Structure 1
Amino acid sequence: MEWTRHLLIVPILLPLITGAALLLIDELRHTLKALLSLASTVLLLVTAIVLMRLADGVPGGSAALSSSYAVANWPAPFAIVLVLDRLSALMLTLTAVLALASLVFSTARWDRAGPHFHTLLQFLLMGLGGAFLTGDLFNLFVFFEVTLAASYGLLLHGSGAFRVRAGLHYIAINLAASLLFLIGVSLIYGTAGTLNMADLAVRLPNVPAEDQALLRAGVAILGTAFLVKAGLWPLCFWLPSAYMAAAAPVAAIFVVLTKVGTYVLLRLTLLLFGPETGDIAGFGGMVLLWGGMGTIAFATFGLLASQAMGRLAGYSVLISSGTLLAAVGIGDASVVSGALFYLVSSTLSVAALFMLIELVERAREPAADLLAVTMEAYGDESDKGEEHEDEEVGVAMPGALAILGISFGCAALLLAGLPPLSGFIAKFAMLTGMLNPDGLGAPAAIPGRIWLLVALVILSGLAALVAMMRSGIRIFWAPLEVIIPRVLVVEVAPIVALLALCMVLAVQGGAVLSYTDAAAQALHAPSSYIQSVLGAGHPPGVSR
Structure 2
Amino acid sequence: MTGMLDHLIIVPILLPLVSGAVMLLLAERRRALKGGIGLATTVALLIVSIVLLRLADTSPADGSAVKVYQLGNWPAPFGIVLVLDRLSALMLVLTSVLGIAALLFSLARWHRAGPRFHTIFQLQLMGLNGAFLTGDLFNLFVFFEALLAASYGLVLHGDGIVRVRAGLAYVAINLTASFLFLIGASLAYGVTGTLNMADLAARIPALSSGDAALFAAAAAILGTAFLMKAGAWPLNFWLPTTYAAASAPAAAMFAIMSKLGVYVILRLWMLVFGPDAGPLAGFGGGWLLVGGMLTIMFGTVGVLASQSLSRLAGCSVLVSSGTLIAAVGTGDGAVIGATLFYLVSSTLGIAAFFLLVELVERIRDPGADVLAVTMEAYGEGEDEGLADEIGIAIPATIATLGGSFIACALLLAGLPPFSGFIAKFALMAAMLETDGTAVQASTWTMIGLLTVSGLATLIAMTRSGISSFWARIDDRVPRVRIIEMAPVLALLLLALGLTVGGGPTMRYMEATTQALRAPQGYVTGVLSTERVGSAQGRANP
Residue 521 (structure 2) aligns with = 528
Q: Is the CA contact 2:158–2:247 (under 8 Å) kept in the aligned structure 1?
A: yes
Residue 518 (structure 1) aligns with = 511
Deviations 1:276-324 (A, max 9, x none): 1111011111111000000000110110010100000000111000000
Residue 21 (structure 1) aligns with = 22
Counterparts of 1:117 and 1:383 in 2: how far apart (Å)? 45
Pick one of 395, 399, 403 that aligns with 1:402.
Answer: 399
Question: Offset of 1:515 from its aligned partner?
Answer: 0.4
3-state DSSP of counterpart to 2:390: coil
Amino acid at match of 1:10: V
TM normalised by structure 2 equals 0.95
Residue 110 (structure 1) aligns with = 110
Counterparts of 1:64 and 1:335 in 2: how far apart (Å)? 22
Counterparts of 1:319 and 1:126 in 2: how far apart (Å)? 27
Counterparts of 1:494 and 1:109 in 2: how far apart (Å)? 14
List alignment gaps of at least 5 residues for structure 2.
531-541
Residue 253 (structure 2) aligns with = 253
3-state DSSP of counterpart to 1:82: strand
- 1:120-139 maps to which residues of 2 (within 5 A)? 120-139=120-139
Residue 448 (structure 1) aligns with = 441
Cα gap change, 1:62/1:208 in structure 2, threshold over 3 Å: closer, same or farther? closer
3-state DSSP of counterpart to 2:409: helix
3-state DSSP of counterpart to 2:234: coil
List alignment gaps of at least 5 residues for structure 1.
538-544
Residue 85 (structure 1) aligns with = 85
Question: Offset of 1:331 from its aligned partner?
Answer: 1.0
Cα gap change, 1:408/1:206 in structure 2, threshold over 3 Å: closer, same or farther? same
3-state DSSP of counterpart to 2:36: helix
3-state DSSP of counterpart to 1:72: helix
Deviations 1:324-371 (A, max 9, x none): 000110011110111100111110111011111111111111133455
3-state DSSP of counterpart to 1:218: helix
Counterparts of 2:529 and 2:400 in 1: how far apart (Å)? 55
Residue 381 (structure 1) aligns with = 379
1:67 aligns with 2:67: yes
Counterparts of 1:56 and 1:511 in 2: how far apart (Å)? 11
Deviations 1:433-483 (A, max 9, x none): 11114xx3x3x5221011101100111001111100111111111212221
Q: Is the CA contact 2:63–2:521 (under 8 Å) kept in the aligned structure 1?
A: no
- 1:415-434 maps to which residues of 2 (within 5 A)? 415-434=412-431
Q: Is the CA contact 2:309–2:464 (under 8 Å) kept in the aligned structure 1?
A: yes
Question: Offset of 1:387 from its aligned partner?
Answer: 8.1
Residue 465 (structure 1) aligns with = 458
Residue 12 (structure 2) aligns with = 11
Question: Offset of 1:269 from its aligned partner?
Answer: 0.4
3-state DSSP of counterpart to 1:259: helix
Question: Offset of 1:210 from its aligned partner?
Answer: 2.0
Amino acid at match of 1:497: A
Amino acid at match of 1:25: L
Cα gap change, 1:452/1:252 in structure 2, threshold over 3 Å: closer, same or farther? same
Residue 336 (structure 1) aligns with = 336
RMSD: 1.7
3-state DSSP of counterpart to 1:363: coil
Counterparts of 1:239 and 1:22 in 2: how far apart (Å)? 30
Counterparts of 1:212 and 1:390 in 2: how far apart (Å)? 75
Residue 482 (structure 1) aligns with = 475
Percentage identity across paired residues of the two chains: 59
Amino acid at match of 2:448: A
Question: Offset of 1:45 from its aligned partner?
Answer: 0.5
Counterparts of 1:186 and 1:430 in 2: how far apart (Å)? 36
3-state DSSP of counterpart to 1:423: helix
- 1:362-381 maps to which residues of 2 (within 5 A)? 362-372=362-372, 379-381=377-379
Residue 197 (structure 1) aligns with = 197
Q: Is the CA contact 1:64–1:528 (under 8 Å) kept in the aligned structure 2?
A: yes
Deviations 1:394-419 (A, max 9, x none): 44211111110000000000001012
3-state DSSP of counterpart to 2:50: helix
Residue 327 (structure 1) aligns with = 327
3-state DSSP of counterpart to 2:81: strand
1:211 aligns with 2:211: yes
3-state DSSP of counterpart to 1:33: helix
3-state DSSP of counterpart to 1:83: strand
Counterparts of 1:111 and 1:174 in 2: how far apart (Å)? 24
Cα gap change, 1:446/1:371 in structure 2, threshold over 3 Å: closer, same or farther? farther
Question: Offset of 1:153 from its aligned partner?
Answer: 0.4
Question: Offset of 1:204 from its aligned partner?
Answer: 1.1
Question: Offset of 1:61 from its aligned partner?
Answer: 6.0
Deviates more, 1:415-424 or 1:62-71: 62-71
Cα gap change, 1:424/1:374 in structure 2, threshold over 3 Å: closer, same or farther? farther
Counterparts of 2:136 and 2:385 in 1: how far apart (Å)? 70
Cα gap change, 1:473/1:73 in structure 2, threshold over 3 Å: closer, same or farther? same
Cα gap change, 1:382/1:17 in structure 2, threshold over 3 Å: closer, same or farther? same
Counterparts of 2:385 and 2:91 in 1: how far apart (Å)? 56
Question: Offset of 1:493 from its aligned partner?
Answer: 0.5
- 1:158-169 maps to which residues of 2 (within 5 A)? 158-169=158-169
Q: Is the CA contact 1:64–1:521 (under 8 Å) kept in the aligned structure 2?
A: no
3-state DSSP of counterpart to 1:232: coil
Residue 493 (structure 2) aligns with = 500
3-state DSSP of counterpart to 2:365: coil
Cα gap change, 1:382/1:208 in structure 2, threshold over 3 Å: closer, same or farther? same
Residue 288 (structure 2) aligns with = 288
Counterparts of 1:208 and 1:138 in 2: how far apart (Å)? 24
Cα gap change, 1:63/1:217 in structure 2, threshold over 3 Å: closer, same or farther? closer
Q: Is the CA contact 2:66–2:83 (under 8 Å) kept in the aligned structure 1?
A: yes
Question: Offset of 1:5 from its aligned partner?
Answer: 2.5
Amino acid at match of 2:365: E
